[in-house]
Amino acid sequence: MSLDDEELQRIRERKAQQLKQILEQRKSKMEQLKQEETAPKGITKDDKYRLMNYFLTDDAFTYWKSLYENPEKHNTAETIFINLLYLIKIGFMEGKLISLLGIKKLERKIDNIPSKITIKRKGEKEKSKILD
């Protein structure tokens, strides 16, 4: 190997090391952002209840509370809460309330449950259609 080849190899190794460091920094930054997004800091269970009670109608709050206390649906309720926080942050929720229908729609979207329409005609059996 000549002197130029050795120098070129060192430059390549140094550049690869720099790119590796940048990649690790970006990876850690993305993980940090993901954790911050999923776990709002300093919000207790009572705070969540108060906030949801303020922005939901009474029946919607009761339904959301049942989701939140159900271990199988707890993650869905958390996702609904995080979505509501986002809507508040962008200023969309000013003077608005979310109804029971809105909460159920969010739940269905989060859990990937397709829409289903039942058609009943006179003299025929019910037919179900799944919409995507």
Question: What is the pLDDT, as a whole number, of residue 132?
Answer: 52
The pLDDT value recorded for residue 82 is 87
Distance CA 97, CA 68 (A): 19
Using alpha carbons, list the distances in angstroms from residue 125 to 72, 120, 128, 129: 34, 7, 10, 13
Q: What is the pLDDT of residue 13?
A: 92
**pTM of structure:** 0.58
Rounded Cα gap, residues 96 and 9, in angstroms? 63
Query: How many Å apart are CA 73 and CA 79, to the nearest integer?
Result: 10
User: What string of pLDDT tens digits covers the 132 residues of the chain?
Assistant: 566 788 889 999 999 999 899 888 888 877 776 666 655 567 788 888 888 889 899 999 999 999 999 889 888 998 899 888 888 888 887 888 889 998 999 889 988 888 777 777 777 766 666 665
User: Which run of H or of E encompasses 94?
Assistant: none
